[in-house]
Structure 1
Amino acid sequence: MTEIAPIAKPDRNRPEPLWHQAEQALRGLIADGTWTDGMQIPNEERLSTMLGVSRITIRHALRNIEDSGLLRREHGRGTFVRSSTVIAGVRGLTSFTQEMAGLGLIVGSRILERDEQAASAEVASALEIRQGEPVVRLRRLRMGNDAPIGVQTAYMPLARVPGFLALEPSASLYQTLSAHFGIAPREAREVYRVGTVAAEDAALLGIETGSPAFVVERITSDAIGPFEFVHSIMRGDRYEIRSRLHI
């Protein structure tokens, strides 16, 4: 565990709760790179001493940061920074860009391929069009804080997005669809499966061929009907699914 510079202690005269001030101070160490991805952070007792607050206060702050996906606890080992993890669970209908921003991560995207194809049987079924109809295919490497997280391939009916391939690429597909084609997502259906990473995707993601991954398929619709079918391969070590269950 690396030594770190002293942390600014919470101010008891401020109106914000001590746990909130402690949480923001610790998040700042991740955001500015003082605590790097994979680094083990000080234990609760040491953090309590460093910030001048109780261990209960520290525990509250760490739990919130862990829930947001920036930390991971390993039983018997300690707590580690996990600054490039996307947490999927019960959430609203958002784009990858919005999802990343909500987690406090810097979104990154590299276009791998953009072309027009004839819809396969699978794509046609998902988009509710005839097999062989033209679709736009957009394949991208998605990143968070400059670390590769997944490879996503989106298919859209050409009839819904004429001229899409002539547009300047944008970080957010949904912003482009809204601005140029008046498409506003209304609902989406997602299916998650556990799979492995093929050689082509493994090279892009910086992991070994056959590494575990989440295979995610998403069909997104607007008021007219399905306009997007996305197939994603998400790194198993940087993508999590969490749910909170209630009686």
Structure 2
Amino acid sequence: MIDKNSKFPIYYQIEEWLKGQIESNLFQIDKLIPSERELIEQWGVSRHTIRQAIGNLVNQGYLYRIPGKGTFVKDKNLINKENRYTSFSEDMAYLGKELVNKVLFLEYDEASKSMANRLNIREKAPIIKVKRVRIVDNVPISYEMIFIAKELISQIDERIAAGSFMQYYEKEMNLKIAYAKETVESVIVTEKTAQLLKIPNNSPLLLVRTKLFADDGQQIQYSKNYFRGNKYKFSIKLYR
């Protein structure tokens, strides 16, 4: 309960109580915390005090807000990337998470003009297209579309599509991956993707576009990955 004689401000005491509920799993990941009104009644404090406590925890990465829905508990430790390329499979293995790739689509096709530009190949060159949902600890985290230049990777089957492409390239194809170019932007989920990721319409997503290159400079694949906005973050170390 609140100690009015404490040297710590009231908002800080409420903040620490909320943090304790989260860390003890009494407030669970992706579940609503009590509303502002409920917390005001529980603690007998002003709305400003509650908002200050919640705002601090949002800034610290413990909570996230969805307009019109409320405030939810965030998984702080889902992904933490440094300034080097690691695949999503490698990230999840590092964190001890269970990753399942649900393959929705696997097709051989010809590159459109726009896709040829993205893959740096000639128009109508053969490509492989894969679409899948990536599920972490039984929660769908991302919807991924992968486009592969068939000239470099001649065969992809269901087993490969459901596994780690990075592992397949390096272990089975003996390719040396040199680097990736990524762009990240914030987008609003479409109805189709919302259904695949089991999230509300108008939820925020991070769209990560990736071009993957071998050590000889040849591009291997281009991918678009729609991550749940509350589940994906970068921690990047930059040197001057």
Alignment TM-score, normalising by the size of structure 1: 0.64
Distance 1:182 1:143, change over 3 A: same
Structure 1 counterpart of 2:109, one-letter code: Q
Number of equivalent positions? 188
- Check conservation: 2:62, 2:75, Cα contact below 8 A: no
Rounded to whole Å, the distance in 2 between the matches of 1:83 and 1:146 is: 14
Q: Check 1:242–1:125 CA distance in 2 against 1; reply closer, same or farther (3 A cut).
A: same
Report 1:158-173 matches (<5 A). Answer: 158-165=150-157, 169-173=161-165
Aligned match of 1:72 in 48, 53, 62? 62
Q: Which residue of 1 aligns with 2:88?
A: 96
CA contact (8 A) 1:37 1:84 kept: no
Find out whether 1:239 has 2:229 as its counterpart.
Answer: no
Corresponding residue of 1:109: 101
Distance 2:81 2:169 in 1: 25
* Aligned counterpart, 2:181: 189
Q: CA deviation at 1:88?
A: 5.0
Shift of the 89–174 alpha-carbon distance from structure 1 to 2, 3 Å rule, reads: closer
Match of 2:15 in 1: none
* Shift in alpha-carbon separation, 1:86–1:125, aligned structure 2, 3 A: farther
Cα separation, partners in 2 of 1:111 and 1:104, compared to 1, 3 Å: same
Q: What does 1:1-247 align with in structure 2 at a 5 Å threshold? A: 36-38=28-30, 72=62, 82-83=74-75, 86-87=78-79, 89-165=81-157, 169-224=161-216, 225-243=218-236
Residue pair 1:85, 1:240 contacting (<8 A) in 2 also: no
RMSD: 3.3
Q: Is the 8 A contact 1:84 1:145 kept in 2?
A: no
Matched to 2:126, the amino acid is P
- 1:152 and 1:38, CA in 2 relative to 1: closer, same or farther beyond 3 A? closer
CA distance in 2, matches of 1:245, 1:180: 33
5+ residue gaps, structure 1 = 1-25, 41-68, 75-79
Cα deviation, residue 91, structure 1: 3.4
Shift of 1:241: 3.1
Q: Which amino acid aligns with 1:210?
A: N
Deviations 1:56-103 (A, max 9, x none): xxxxxxxxxxxxx9x7157xxxxx864486435433221111011223
> Could you say what secondary structure the match of 2:194 adopts?
helix
Indicate the percent of aligned positions where both proteins have the same amino acid.
21
> Counterpart of 2:5?
none
Contact 2:83–2:236, Cα closer than 8 Å, also in 1? no
TM-score by length of 2: 0.66
Query: How far off is 1:209 after superposition?
Result: 2.8
Structure 1 168/189 Cα, relative in aligned 2: closer, same or farther at 3 Å?
Answer: closer
CA 1:84–1:100: 2 relative to 1, 3 Å? farther
Q: Do 2:106 and 2:128's aligned partners in 1 also have CA atoms closer than 8 Å? A: yes
Q: Structure 1 CA distance, aligned partners of 2:207 and 2:168? A: 25
Give yes or no for contact 1:170–1:176 (8 Å, CA) kept in 2. no
